[in-house]
Each structure stands twice: as structure tokens, then as C-alpha cells.
Amino acid sequence: MATTFPPAPKVGMVSLGCPKALVDSERILTKLRSDGYQMSPDYAGTDVVLVNTCGFLDSAKEESLEAIGEAIAENGRVIVTGCMGNEAELIRARFPSVLAITGAHQYEDVVNAVHEASPPVPNAFVDLVPEGGLKLTPRHYSYLKISEGCNHRCAFCIIPSLRGDLVSRRIDAVLREAEKLVAAGTKELLIISQDTSAYGVDTRHETRNWKGREVRAHMTDMARELGQLRTAEGQTPWVRLHYVYPYPHVDHVIPLMAEGLLTPYLDIPFQHAAPNVLKRMKRPANEAKVLERVKNWRTICPDIAIRSSFVVGFPGETEADFQYLLDWLDEAQLDRVGAFRFEPVEGAAANALPDPVPEEVKEERYQRIMEKTAAISAAKLQAKIGRILPVIVDEVGEPDEDDGSVGATARSQADAPEIDGNVFLRDTSGLQPGDIVYTEIEDADEHDLFGVPVQEYR
């Protein structure tokens, strides 16, 4: 006779905020799943709802509060975690019935709170966690967090006060996690932190033994080792570096990109180009020769894609500063650009700076920078028409009603998931999410490419 167990308690999760918060959510869910909880996709029938909040901008806080309110209205049994957990009083004042509030990275506390609110059922199948943990991202790409916190004090940012100073993970732990993820089917690793170039500064680049080699907790050592990983099919997984500041040692990873061991992609949040704005922003690695280095990187690795983000309307930004930024962008020819209008964040040093930029000027500058970067992007994508590029498939569509052909949404090496563009494929019969295929690029618009697969990726 089959043994029956009482049903496992169900946990729902609302995950807000950046990829780093998403990684936290994945860790929490992995632990809960291994404790025997079931995950629930909706509020109904869920024993407890976890809301992982973001407190970075005031608008993000408002979104977090709305999500908490919705979970309380729909389910009633809510635990709050994440960056906004540091503002427990504010949350309690608005939602006195919240069961527990924990801060960012307090995995143990949040898991304990769930145990208390809805105790785990003994004898549940607790060892069913797939290798690589439970993931909120599709199986073929994974975020890998290498450190928490940040040693910088950029004037517009409150992350160091929310998350503390830099704490790097051990290099062997990072590489082991990467290896497990790839063994579990990950084809693309997205390396994240607040400052990837600073990895290991807090541990003085502590050395650990990894597969018989001495490896430092340092971005270049990590990149070299990640370049040795192979998927079950023998492919080199894509490895993308995010949140890189242009310290001198960044130059050392470019040859790895040229050799195909690291994805030719750098996400560098420049935020501005005008020296006096950067100074007022207190940005790290703020040096004048960046343009020269970007040109040099392109000589070594012509296919390198550089993505960045910029803030317009920072206090004291003059028209001349803004024009400097536009001219700089003309020179730098960045592949992907996100722009934001400066927004004061409660607790940020920038709020006390003189000479705020009027809202209508911010808006006008925002429109101008978007126009400029869209034109650069469109020209760069046009130049790719006719080329054959490897792309990774994210999603496969339904067969067309008339001719049965199947389209798919994919990305090139120049496109990180969620933040960059797509490559839309036609005639993709037999492709699965996670497949990497060579594709002939047939068309382009401002942000996306269109193509047809031509052969298997080797």
C-alpha cells in the first residue's frame, strides 16, 4: 500500500527589484523547497506569501508597499523580506498584520519566519531540489552573485547603507556554484555584484585551491577559470560580466573575450562622462582615459558589446556638462544604453547638493540622450545585417496557423536577458529554449535583430 503524507505547506513568492534580489529569492526558495515546502504560483490556497522587496528608489519602495498590500488583501498571511525590510516601522505602520519582516540576505531569518508561520511537514520529500537549486530564471541562464555590498559611496546611492561594505564570496565557492549550474543545464552565467571589478578587495584577494591550482578571489582569475567550464555538450557556456567598473585590470579580461572563453560583453555603469558631474557623484574608477581604453578593447576584441547606464539631471549638471556627455557618447559608440532621470532617494547624500535641475530640463535631456543612443544602436545593428552570429534561444513560439512555421525569441552575445535587445528568429523548427545556434541576420531596427538559423553551433 502506498504511504500517504499530509500535504506539504504552500509558499508563494513575489520577487521585486534587481537581479541581486532575484538571486536572494532563488536561495530562499531553494532552502524552503529542501525543507519540504511546495511552491505556489498564486495567492489562493497558499499558506504564506513572501514578498521580497526593493528599497532602492522611492518609486521602488512604493511598488514594494503596493505588493505587500496586494498580498495582504488576497491572502492575509504575509512575510516581508529584502531591502525594504530595513524599514520595518514604516511597513508595520501601514500593514500591522504582516507576520514577520526581515532584511536583505537574512536567509536564515526569513526561512525561520516561514517555519513559524507554517511549520514544515515531517517526512515530506525533502531531497528533491534539482542540482543547481531552484531557479526563477529559465533553466538555461543563471545569475551568479560573487559578493554583497559595496565600498564606494556614490552620492545618489543608498545601497552601502542598506547592504553594507563589500563582502566577497570565496573563489572556490563561486566556481563550485558555477560548475553546478552548468552541470544542471545553464548555458549562460550572468556574474553579478555591486562592483564586480572590486571582487576580493575585502579578502585581499585570498587564494584558494581549485582543481589543483591556486586561484585568487580576483575578477581576472575568476574570469579565466569560468572560461574553462564546458557544458554537457562540450560547449563553452556564455559568461557575462555585469556591474564592472573600468579599473585597469579590466584590460586583462578582454583577451579572454577575443579567445571566445568569455562572452564579449561588458556592463559598465558609467552614469555620466563630464568630469565635474562624476566628481560630484563620487563615482569610482572615474578617469579621463576611459575613451582611449574602450577603443583599445575594440582593437583587441572587435565584437565586444558595451552596455551602460547614465543619469541625466544630476544636481549641478549644466547644459555644457550634458553636451559633454552627448559628445562622449558619439565617440564611445556604446552598444546598449539605459538612461534615467535623476530621482532623489531618501537617505542619499545627493539630496543635499545645491542646484537641482528643473524637472522639465531633466525630461528634455532625457529625450535627447534617448534619441542619441537609439540612433547609435540602430546604426550598429544595421551593420550586423548579413553577418552570421551565435544566438541563444529564450522562447519558442507556436506553429503558424497557415504554414506551420515556428518563430523564436533569442539573444545574441551582445544582449543580456531582460535589459538588452532580442534576435527574433523565423523558421526554427526543432529548436528548444537554451539552444545556441548560428543565425544569419536579415534585418534590424533600433534595438532588435531579425534572422534565420543556418547551422548548429560548434
Nearer to ligand SF4, 242 or 384 (CB): 242
Q: Is residue 154 within the footprint of ligand SF4 (CB under 6 A)?
A: yes
Please provide the distance, in angstroms rounded to a whole number, between the alpha carbons at the two ends of the chain: 50
Minimum CB separation from ligand SF4 for residue 246, in Å?
12
**The one among 27, 77, 152, 293 contacting ligand SF4 by CB under 6 A:** 152
Q: 412-433 in b/e burial notation, b at 16+ Cβ within 10 A?
A: bbbbbbeebbbbbbeebeebeb
Q: Which helix (H) or strand (E) holds 74?
A: helix 58-74
Minimum CB separation from ligand SF4 for residue 267, in Å?
12
Nearer to ligand SF4, 102 or 197 (CB): 197
Distance from C-alpha of 280 to C-alpha of 355, rounded to nearest angstrom = 12
**The one among 69, 120, 160, 164 contacting ligand SF4 by CB under 6 A:** 160
Instruction: Determine the 3-state secondary structure of 265 from DSSP.
Output: strand
Nearer to ligand SF4, 240 or 272 (CB): 272
Percentages helix, strand, coil for the chain, rounded to the nearest 5?
35, 20, 45
Distance from C-alpha of 456 to C-alpha of 325, rounded to nearest angstrom = 42
Instruction: Identify the CA nearest to 325 among candidates 356, 317, 420.
Output: 317
* Whether 50 contacts 116, CB under 8 Å: no
Q: Is residue 267 within the footprint of ligand SF4 (CB under 6 A)?
A: no
Minimum CB separation from ligand SF4 for residue 156, in Å?
7
| Site pattern 187..226 for ligand SF4 (x: CB under 6 A) | -------xx-------------------------------
Distance from C-alpha of 236 to C-alpha of 92, rounded to nearest angstrom = 49
Minimum CB separation from ligand SF4 for residue 311, in Å?
10
Q: Is residue 263 within the footprint of ligand SF4 (CB under 6 A)?
A: no
- The stretch among 10-18, 40-48, 156-164, 418-426 that binds ligand SF4 (CB under 6 A) is 156-164
Q: Is residue 278 within the footprint of ligand SF4 (CB under 6 A)?
A: no
Q: Is residue 159 within the footprint of ligand SF4 (CB under 6 A)?
A: yes
Q: Is residue 357 within the footprint of ligand SF4 (CB under 6 A)?
A: no
242, three cell numbers? 555585469
Q: By the criterion CB under 6 A, which residues form the site for ligand SF4? A: 150, 152-154, 157, 159-160, 194-195, 284
